[in-house]
Amino acid sequence: MSNTLFKILVAVTLIFVVVFFAVPLLSIVVKSFFTSEGVSIKSYIDFFKDGTSRHAFYRSLKLGMAVMAISLILSYPSAIAINTINNQTIKSFLMTLIVLPIMTNPVARTFSWLAVIGRNGFINNFLVYLGFHRVRILYTETAVFIGLLQLFTPLMLLSLVSAFENLDKEVILAAQSLGAGKFMTFLKIQLPLTLDGAIMGSLLVFSGSVSAYVTPALLGGSKILMLSTLLYQKASVVLDWDAAITIAVIMILLIFGVNSLVKVILKEVSY
Amino acid sequence: MSKFIMILTITFLVGPFLIIFLASFGENPSLEFPPKGFTLHWYNKVLSMPMFMDSLKLSVFLAIGASLLGLILGVPVAYALVRWDFKGKPVVEFLTSLPVAVPGMVAGLALLKFFVLMGTFSIESTLLIGHTLIVLPYSVRIVKGSLMNLPEEVELAAQSLGANPIKTFFLIILPLIKTSLIAAFILMFIISFNNVPISLFLSGPGITTLPIVMMSYMEYYYDPTIAALSTLLIAVTLIVVLGMQKILGFSKFL
């Protein structure tokens, strides 16, 4: 059988991924639990003892949660509004605009914000025009939050738009014919039926925010560090490889931890 | 109310792109909005600076190479996952989606450590391997989706008429999933072209991709050169996304 050829091709891909990805990844995970004296979690203790590292950890967690929450708040009403648009041309144009931030080069996307929140940007020049003082937004946590929100709201919106598309229109009509108002219909019908999409979207947004590099690097500068920017600083500026590896493993554990936690909770709830 | 929030959200998502577009024509050598005057100087500067043009060339070649390799490695896996029944399926699925589940910076660091240890690879080949890894999951996912919609009878018919599996694959299956292959290629191209974390760790002196060059330029200069380059990149992205949507529809590539 020439199916053998296919088996060889599949094997080639698997070997490629294992050799060049799984093994390098596993080796840094293993290495992070070893010191010269043997198995130890010393590098993790050092990480949490260090103020800068601890701050970066909490900041990643905090910004991940905040971006997730605000993108949910923006996306629910937006997804409902998009779903009520009947004109296909307008709808697909809006969808194009929504995916544009994820598809755009991250440096170009992030640089755009400098013209908005920078010293001579739109917001500051507007404030000066109105007679106020300039405010410092660039290189603050707010700037990083804004950048991450722009980058990850599309993911939430896409999850929710497709959740609403899969929702039977008759169910809503039924609720309304039984006397439910717009808000009650949302609370009792639309919200529970789109919850899966919202949770999927939330996980994507949280994981993405914790992983993102360009946004915190360009909008947060060297002071507002997240785990990803701290990792790069350790690896290439300070040349402390062991610390960089520890941060890398903490990032993996944080993301996989939150993802599996949510999945376990979902399983419990649905029984 | 919900319409208002939608307009607000979309303005937030794309408003900065409009602002950087306008700011890129400003005459002032430091970025500002609203811009003063009108000049194409920054566009001229971008297009005449070898540092941008060389890295653009590398980025494009790298994206084409990684996407092609992504298809060559990904399509057989997608086919096996859809058509065959075997024990290790979840393992195969896990391994081929792993690169997208791991944060880019973590992947970049792991790859750098690995290649430093190996020592025999050139910078170009490590970049190509790294980029192929991060685009591979997308080729598997998209091609898998379109193979699932392809009835198995098509293959059985071809084979009952005497075509061997290889012939069936190249003459029947590949032409039938052509649109998904194109969609997968374009998406992989964009992902590789835009990648920062892998390139950040694996680039070397003189062999650097465009996003990395842009970032290091920004560390020293604050003029609208990057605004002009960003505008060009955003415009190209908009055209590609509009085109893909027109030809393929959104369900195909997201």
pLDDT digits (tens, 9 = 90+) for B65-97: 999 999 999 999 999 999 888 888 999 999 999
Comparing C-alpha atoms, which of B68, B115, B127 is closest to residue A19? B115
| Phi then psi dihedrals of residue B224, to 5 deg | -75, 10
Polymer length of chain A: 271
Q: Which of A2, A96, A115 has the CB atom closest to B242's CB atom?
A: A96
Average pLDDT over all residues of chain A: 91
pLDDT in tens, A80-91: 999 989 888 899
What is the structure's pLDDT at B252?
46
Of B1, B6, B241, the CB nearest to A99: B241
Q: Which residues of chain B make contact with A6, given a CB cutoff of 8 A? A: 76, 79-80, 165, 169
CB pair distance less than 8 Å for A248 and B3:
no
pLDDT (tens digit per residue) in A198-238: 999 999 999 999 999 999 999 998 889 999 999 999 998 88
Mark yes or no for CB contact A158/B254 under 8 Å. yes
Query: Quick check: A122 and B133 CB within 8 A?
Result: no
What φ, ψ does residue A149 adopt, rounded to 5°? -65, -40
pLDDT, residue A198, reads: 94
Q: Least CB-CB distance to A96: which of B194, B230, B241?
A: B241
Write down the mean pLDDT value for chain B: 91
- In degrees, rounded to 5, the angle at the alpha carbon of residue A214 between the alpha carbons of residues A213 and A215 is 95
**How far apart, in whole angstroms, are the C-alpha atoms of residue B41 and residue B25?**
8
% of chain A surpassing 90 pLDDT: 70
Both tokens of A60, joined, read 């990643």
Does the pTM surpass 0.90? The reply is yes
pLDDT at A215: 96
ipTM for the complex shown: 0.92
Q: Which segments in chain A show pLDDT lower than 70? A: 1-2, 270-271
Output the CA–CA distances (angstroms, integers) from residue B191 to A38, A252, B66, B233, in the order listed. Answer: 40, 21, 10, 13
